[in-house]
Amino acid sequence: MKLIKFVLVFSFATLFGCTSTHNGYDYTAFRAADPHSILVLPPLNNTTEVIAPYSVMAQVIKPIAESGYYVFPVAVVDQTFKNNGLTVANDVHAVPVNKLHEIFGADAALYLTVSEYGTSYVLIASETRVTLKATLVDLRNGVVLWQNSATASSDEDRDDENNHGLFGALVDAAVNQIFESIADTGFDITGKTTDRLLSADNYNGLLYGPRSPQYGQPAKGE
């Protein structure tokens, strides 16, 4: 009987152990391509907040550069597209990869989509939430090297043990919504989202690039 229990326990451990190793992203194509430079394209904005793409572009470079890659300056990239008549993100995303490689000489391009941005008020709570999706594409051959999505929320830093009662909760929610809207808390939450999405220090983030002392080490989640 003990032998049977041991076999069952070992079988389940093996099963779940094998399953957990496949939860991380498959970096095979990423590692083979070994990009050294990344071109960040202006994000597609699927929200009603006009400021969302600007908030993202102001903060997306940091986690990529800190992960060890050369990132093309946002202002230079934006002006280059405008000089070529491309002022809308959808049009930029439609440019063939070989053309982007020809113009900028970058190894890869990061395609971003903002799917959530801003403060919402639901019942007795207000929340500022930012969600981004990213796809890294090899500009030399069009191969998708990596994909990921991430969300951050103002609720993460809020004390859940609030004992003000229903009326107090309603007042707090209203005040929080006004404050977060005026102060553009979305900008701060965007910083958390881009770091969570892209940093090589985070699970399923980018690989460490050639400018990082950790270059060549396994990614978090592998």
C-alpha distances (whole Å) from 39 to each of 57, 112, 201 are 12, 11, 20
What pLDDT, on a 0 to 100 scale, did the predictor assign at position 154? Answer: 81
Section 142-150 average pLDDT? 97
- Whose CA is closest to 143, among 97, 112, 185, 89? 97
145 within 8 A of 31, measured Cβ to Cβ = no
Helix (H, G, I), strand (E, B) or coil at 58: helix
Sign of the CA dihedral with 103 first, then 106, 108, and 113 last: negative
206 within 8 A of 136, measured Cβ to Cβ = yes
Cα 90 from Cα 103, distance rounded (Å)? 18
What pLDDT, on a 0 to 100 scale, did the predictor assign at position 15? Answer: 40
What is the 3 state secondary structure string of 96-123?
A: CHHHHHHHHCCCEEEEEEEEEEEEEEEC
Domain coordinates in residue numbering, the chain: 36-198
Cα 201 from Cα 198, distance rounded (Å)? 9
Cα 219 from Cα 197, distance rounded (Å)? 13
Residue 204 or 121, more confident: 204
Q: pTM for this one? A: 0.79
We find that the CATH architecture of domain 36-198 is 3-Layer(aba) Sandwich (3.40)
Helices first, then strands: H and E counts in the chain: 9, 6
What pLDDT, on a 0 to 100 scale, did the predictor assign at position 157? Answer: 65
Side chain identity at 188, as an amino acid letter?
Answer: D
* pLDDT per position as a tens digit, 172-189: 555 555 444 444 678 889
Phi, psi of 166 (to 5 degrees): -65, -50
Q: What is the DSSP string of 158-196?
A: S-S---SHHHHHHHHHHHHHHHHHHTTHHHHHHHHHHHH
* pLDDT per position as a tens digit, 99-137: 999 999 999 999 999 999 987 765 556 688 899 999 999
Helix (H, G, I), strand (E, B) or coil at 59: helix
